[in-house]
Amino acid sequence: DLTISLTHTGKYFVSILTEQGYEPIEKTNKAVGIDLGLRSFVITSEGIRYPSQRLLKKYHNKLATAQKHLSRKKKGSNNFEKQKVKVAKLYEKVSNIRTDYLHKVSLDLLRKYDIIFCEDLNIKGMMKNHRLARNIGDAAWGEFVRMLEYKAEMNDKHIGKIDRYCPSSKTCHTCGYVNRGLGYEEEWVCPECGSVVDRDWNAALNILSAGLAEYTCGLSENPVWI
């Protein structure tokens, strides 16, 4: 099969469906928990951080200027159409950079681990927070998890999702104390054991523990979290 498509920026792409052999990624016999965030895009239970790109913030001035120029053009004119393409090219560039990064991070994780656990995030619900919606959309967590899932299936690896109500950030991984009053602090001191808790790394450690408990012990479909 052959498919020809045209983008908003005037580029033609030809997709050809073929059959070919595929060599799966080697097994590592390792499991990891990952926390998806805004400060760090991904932090693993091993403490590895993949930085957030914040592309919309990075390209904000260029996008705003291009949109302003477009708004000043007469709709339907040649200049309007030319500027419209320029705006589309900027958004296309941002999208391509984001997609490339998501592919690289997801592939890197699957090369290092056979089992990856993450939270079952309610992204639609989180997007209702207008203060964070732009950054959450820019992070593209949903697309990233989708990439992890189909690449894991291709390579006979496993992606597990823990319950979204698990208090992974609020629970001290060292002693199990639940900090119910935790706000947006990056670090907090556990009043029970005195540990200095890195919020995101702590969450990744708890995600790994919860994921392994479900994966190996077969907890009920609707676990009740403390």
Instruction: Please list the pLDDT of the chain residue by residue as tens digits (226 residues).
Output: 789 998 888 889 999 988 888 899 999 999 999 999 999 999 999 999 999 999 999 999 999 999 999 999 999 999 999 999 999 999 999 999 999 999 999 999 999 999 999 999 999 899 998 888 999 999 999 999 999 999 999 999 999 999 989 999 999 999 999 999 998 899 999 999 999 999 999 999 999 999 999 887 654 454 443 3
Cβ contacts of 187 within 8 Å, gap of 6 or more: 196, 197, 198, 199
User: How far is it, in rounded angstroms, from Cα 202 to Cα 211?
Assistant: 14
Active site residues per annotation: 35, 119, 200
State how far the Cα of 74 lies from the Cα of 80, in Å rounded to an integer.
6
Question: Which amino acid type is present at position 151?
Answer: K
Residue 102 in tokens: 């998501």
The candidate with the shortest Cα–Cα distance to 157, out of 122, 113, 92, is: 113
Residues in CB range of 219: below 8 A, 6 or more apart: 213
> Is this structure's pTM higher than 0.75?
yes
Give how far Cα 158 sits from Cα of 18, 86, 182, 207, Å: 26, 41, 31, 15
Partners of 4 in beta bridges: 14
